[in-house]
Amino acid sequence: MNKNDKNQLEIITTVYNRKECLIRLYKSLVQQDCTNFIWTIVDDGSAEKIEDMVNEWQKSCKFKIKLYIQRNMGKMSAYKKAIDFSKSKWSIVVDSDDVVLSNCVSTLLSRISEIEDNKMEIIGAVFPKDTRNLKNWRKISGKIIDIISLRYEYSIPEAVILVNNKMLRQEFVNLLIPNEKFMSEEVLYNRLAFYGKFIVYLDVFYTSEYQDDGLTVQIFNIWKDSPNGTLKLLTSRYCALGDLPIFFEILGKVKTILNLNAFCMAKDINYLAVTPNKYLSRVLYIPSRIVRAKRF
């Protein structure tokens, strides 16, 4: 791999009304010890205009910045736009409310070189999103896994994900649902399992910070506003869990059906018409009502 190739790595940031957070992220990117990367920003219809600010950044910074602006269509639509226009081989998503350490790009390029030089049969890599939960990360360092294993087998809820853009382009084609803004990245990563797996590294170069109005905090309200996307997420999760060891598969599927049943009850959807397991949905009917009361 040529580490001087600026088209090797792309950092993708989708933003919606997070101008101050975006400035903070930009400052962390300026501090990188390697500038051989592209930063792509997709503004998802923000009321806060960032075009003039980004234009000024483009004039002075040592790395390339690309800006795309679209009407408010949701994070995954913005992510797809970045991939559609990308010429890079590899990419990671860095959320607008997060920052990266100065070793981020150099670490990623080093790992990309390792993957390519050793001709590893993998499609990407996963890294800790911060220093929390490193104990669990250490248990799986160097393993080759599917993304869904992180949460349901190793109790790691989130990760920084480096992925080969070729697979992203192929899977984004039929992923989004018209007239809905929410589609979980989990659906995308579950589909990528058909192409290959990810290697686990322990490098820490990312710091996450959740906002009160963010997707993670508001997730169950967001689910209700995008019923088709939510059902696609839960059925995708249920199917992907079938590749885990039996204990984790059963536990994960029970939790998924509880969420699916509860969501359908909240939206007046016939859960038996959409569930991937009618028997389990019937068995979990009563506890699902409790989940509905707590979450929806």
Q: Is the predicted pLDDT of residue 102 greater than 70, yes or no?
A: yes
Taken in order 184, 73, 99, 198, is the CA torsion positive or negative? positive
pLDDT score recorded for residue 42: 97
Rounded to the nearest angstrom, the gap between the alpha carbon of residue 197 and the centroid of all alpha carbons in its chain is 15
**Residue 100, C-beta contacts closer than 8 angstroms, at least 6 positions apart:** 11, 25, 28, 29, 32, 94, 205, 206, 207
> What is the number of other CB atoms lying within 10 angstroms of the CB of residue 35?
14
Residues 6+ apart with CB under 8 A from 88: 7, 8, 9, 10, 38, 165
Looking at residue 83, what is its pLDDT?
Answer: 96
Structure tokens at 206: 């990312």
pTM of the prediction? 0.92
Residue 155 region by backbone torsions, left for phi larger than 0, else alpha for psi between -120 and 50, else beta: left
- Number of helices and strands in the chain (H, E): 14, 10
User: Tokens standing for 6?
Assistant: 């600026």
- Confidence category of residue 174, pLDDT binned at 50, 70, 90: confident
pLDDT tens-digit map of 65-87:
999 999 999 999 999 999 999 99
Provide the pLDDT confidence category of residue 213 given band limits of 50, 70 and 90.
low
